[in-house]
Structure 1
Amino acid sequence: MGSGMVVKADVCIVGGGPAGLVLALLLGRRGVGAVVLERHATFLRDFRGDTVHPSTLQLMDELGLYDDLVRLPHRVVRQLQVTYATGTYRPVDFERLRTPHPYVMMLPQWDFLELLVSRGDFALRREAEVIAVNRRDRRVVGVTAGTTQGPVEVVAPLTVACDGRDSTVRRELGLRSKVFGAPIDVLWFRLSRRPADPEGLAGRIDEGRLFVGIDRGDYWQIGWVVPKGGEAQLRAAGLPAFRAGIADSVPYLADRVSEIEGWEQVHTLTVRMDRLYRWHVPGALLIGDAAHAMSPVGGVGINLAIQDAVAAARVIGDAFASGRPPTERELATVQRRRALPTAGTQLLQRALQRAVLAPALTGRPLSPPLPLRLLDRYPPLRTLPARLIGVGLRPEHV
């Protein structure tokens, strides 16, 4: 277990992302003492999900944080649109939702996370990377983290892993998962944005190319979708060919592709989709991407992780209100409640990958699939994808 500093808490939360910080904030409001371990020094990292969906906006309202949220620099997206060679289609209209906030807020994730920290009653330890999960009599009793001051042992009757798709806790516990194939990877990079450019989200599907642009105000965060394993071929063709492909597919970016001066500016997201068979062991619970890695399709991963956190906070808070940590049977109720929306969302993502993304990357002339054309032609139909993306299959409330 190590011989460094020992910290005691009711709950040890591993990972300071949206799920971990929302969980810590909710537990703090119920008087449950949480320690959050975040392996980075700051939240200021590029190429993170920036979408705050209608259900999360409603949750922020319920927590009294919505007014603080809208003061942060953001963009509002009321519709999702995608451009093919044959024209622009609008399959999703969030304004048709009967929710308090029928839109997606594009907000730098680091600002969102810092807001949660500033309004929460919990301890956040930055630059603390978990190196071991500690057990006693087959029960998890905390973790040991490496820090700049040496090892820190966090002793807690409950550990919650919110440390993402490459979860250390998940690996240490040896939990098995059901793995689904993903036909794509995503290359992330940035290019400057001009006032005449589109606002919010921009997308284009071309012959063998798929582009998604996230408006960050003075620059674009760009996702360039490639076939699984296709990055090597792209790099082998050279940077000039890569820049030319961007300029050809997205003409309004042609005058600035020279800003990509080297491959070190291009970051790869290896898309993976899986789901744990069991999200819990005695003394530990896994939620968010640690329990179910999602595809970036629809940007729903953050939304789903936050809803996991709300469901977990309810169960954990009720147990501690009774004067004890939750039993494994109680932790299992979190998985039972969240399993259906998780599986359903992954099923929809896989269908979209097969029907839209995989064909788009074949390099052959491409026409929009029939469902996309129908959604564009009959506006009332756009409510269904708006609800699936913006609200989810089982929204949670405080």
Structure 2
Amino acid sequence: MTQPDLPDITTDCAIVGAGPAGLMLGLLLARAGLDVTVMEKHGDFLRDFRGDTIHPSTLDVMHELGLLDELLKLPHTQASRLHAEIGGRDVTLADFSRLPTRCRFIAFMPQWDFLDFLAREAARRPNFHLVMPAQVDGLIEAEGRIAGLRATTPRGALTLRAALVVGADGRNSVVRQKAGLEVESFGSPSDVLWMKLSHQPGDPPYVMGHGGPRQGFVMVDRGDYWQCGYVVRKGSFADVKAAGLEAFRAQVAAVSPLPASRMEEIASWDDVQLLSVRIDRLKRWWRPGLICIGDAAHAMSPIGGFGVNLAIQDAVAAANILTRPLKEGRLAARDLAAVEARRRFPTWATQKLQLMMRRGRRQREASGEERAGGPPGFLRSIARWPLLAHLAGRLVGLGFRPEDVRGARERNSGSAAAI
């Protein structure tokens, strides 16, 4: 039996995607008194190997919202420095100890815990609504602007009319595809194969590590296990699988500081998940009545863990700029353009930095300056000049343009009413 269609819903803002960008924006707009509906295609947040780094800039946002102490009660690990093993010695890649922030560390926290925390906080407000699972099928256009969306839910079809639709549905965004927004791709020469390995006494003492020759190896300490990423040439996963699981274990063991016997925990290819790496961004982030933020507007390489934190900063900027026009019923194209203008430079600069890291290595390999067994050039530079670790810490920890929640400092000091 087919489900009857649900009644049409009208909301101030319809957000597609309950990731970091979508839930943070939903929380901020709901705190401001706007009616917000967030649509998420999955039924829960439990997906492995998502961006799990919460940077100092995001921790500052949580402090401004009065939520930092409660957030840090959740299971997590902290890293005041990021390390790599290069040439058999431990090298500090990024040092956060001198940042002008409240938290001089990165928090490694499973993303599902972070998202669940944001969703619970937002749900304290009766004007916040989270619909999951809900698959967006199309956008509603009226009088030259986007005026809502249509979605399918287990309870039937849903029509949602809104003053603003926000695409925050990730790098494979349905919203940006349905809106016909043009994507500019910058490619990537690599993919990442993610896996879990147990954490044992005597394992390396650092929270994040990187080692190996052409294929890099990253380890993130999750307490009772390591989240490990093995970098391979773009599109080569099929070749890796064709060579067999035993050969793969041997390749990982060759670049991992963990004992080779630990690789037996990779029991089948089901224990290996592919992250297809790409770098892209929209040529324009908006249409009248619609804007994309986070990965939907700009997919990032996992280098530096920038993606989650850029998404959060996008959400803060969008809330700062769009709240008043939405509340006053006068949202215009210039407001959406202002969000893009505010966030385009940090997006461009971060992607430029990631591309320069890869380009520099390819140029050295082509000229013969970098031997096949050497680490990327930017790692060798930091190893040679340790003061660069503080610069890297600032770029990773704060980014190129950290955002403040508008009015948060005044509210925290009691000089203004809460949003």
TM-score normalized by structure 2? 0.90
Q: Is residue 2:233 matched to residue 1:227?
A: yes
CA shift for structure 1 position 42: 0.8
Distance 1:134 1:358, change over 3 A: farther
For 1:357 and 1:41, the matched residues in 2 are separated by 42
For 2:363 and 2:84, the matched residues in 1 are separated by 16
Which of 380, 388, 394 is matched with 2:387 structurally? 380
Q: Is the 8 A contact 2:211 2:256 kept in 1?
A: no
Distance 1:370 1:178, change over 3 A: closer
Aligned to 2:400: 393
Cα deviation code 1:48-102 (max 9, x no counterpart): 1110000000110000000011100000011111112342221311112121111
Aligned to 2:351: 346
Q: Is the 8 A contact 2:208 2:220 kept in 1?
A: yes
CA shift for structure 1 position 371: 4.8
The 3-state SS of whatever aligns with 1:301 is helix
CA shift for structure 1 position 353: 2.0
For 2:229 and 2:154, the matched residues in 1 are separated by 34
The 3-state SS of whatever aligns with 2:216 is strand
Distance 1:329 1:379, change over 3 A: same
Which of 57, 60, 65 is matched with 1:58 structurally? 60
Q: Is the 8 A contact 2:212 2:256 kept in 1?
A: no
Residue type at the aligned position of 1:6 = D
Q: Is the 8 A contact 1:75 1:200 kept in 2?
A: no
Higher mean alpha-carbon deviation, 146-155 vs 54-63, is at 146-155
The 3-state SS of whatever aligns with 2:18 is coil
Q: Is the 8 A contact 1:319 1:326 kept in 2?
A: yes
Distance 1:310 1:65, change over 3 A: same
Which of 38, 43, 54 is matched with 1:36 structurally? 38
Which of 328, 335, 357 is matched with 1:330 structurally? 335
Aligned to 1:316: 322
Which of 21, 28, 36 is matched with 1:26 structurally? 28
CA shift for structure 1 position 368: 4.6
For 1:358 and 1:57, the matched residues in 2 are separated by 37
Report the aligned-residue RMSD.
2.1
The 3-state SS of whatever aligns with 1:157 is strand
Distance 1:384 1:58, change over 3 A: same
For 1:63 and 1:144, the matched residues in 2 are separated by 32
Q: How does 1:182-201 map to 2 (within 5 A)?
A: 182-199=188-205, 201=207
Residue type at the aligned position of 1:351 = M
For 1:172 and 1:16, the matched residues in 2 are separated by 18
Which of 253, 256, 263 is matched with 1:257 structurally? 263
Aligned to 1:110: 112
CA shift for structure 1 position 184: 0.6
For 2:15 and 2:364, the matched residues in 1 are separated by 40
5+ unaligned residues in a row in structure 2: which ranges? 406-419
For 1:111 and 1:237, the matched residues in 2 are separated by 36
Q: How does 1:124-143 map to 2 (within 5 A)?
A: 124-143=130-149
Higher mean alpha-carbon deviation, 127-136 vs 196-205, is at 196-205
Which of 232, 237, 245 is matched with 2:243 structurally? 237
Q: Is the 8 A contact 2:357 2:377 kept in 1?
A: no
For 1:380 and 1:207, the matched residues in 2 are separated by 24
For 1:179 and 1:132, the matched residues in 2 are separated by 24
For 2:389 and 2:232, the matched residues in 1 are separated by 27
Distance 1:5 1:255, change over 3 A: farther
Higher mean alpha-carbon deviation, 27-36 vs 89-98, is at 89-98
Aligned to 1:8: 10
Aligned to 1:46: 48
Q: How does 1:145-164 map to 2 (within 5 A)?
A: 145-164=151-170
For 2:53 and 2:104, the matched residues in 1 are separated by 13
Which of 218, 228, 232 is matched with 1:212 structurally? 218
For 1:358 and 1:134, the matched residues in 2 are separated by 48
The 3-state SS of whatever aligns with 2:28 is helix
The 3-state SS of whatever aligns with 2:298 is coil
Residue type at the aligned position of 1:268 = L
Distance 1:259 1:368, change over 3 A: closer
Identity across aligned pairs (percent)? 46
The 3-state SS of whatever aligns with 1:165 is coil
The 3-state SS of whatever aligns with 1:324 is coil
Residue type at the aligned position of 2:20 = P
5+ unaligned residues in a row in structure 1: which ranges? none
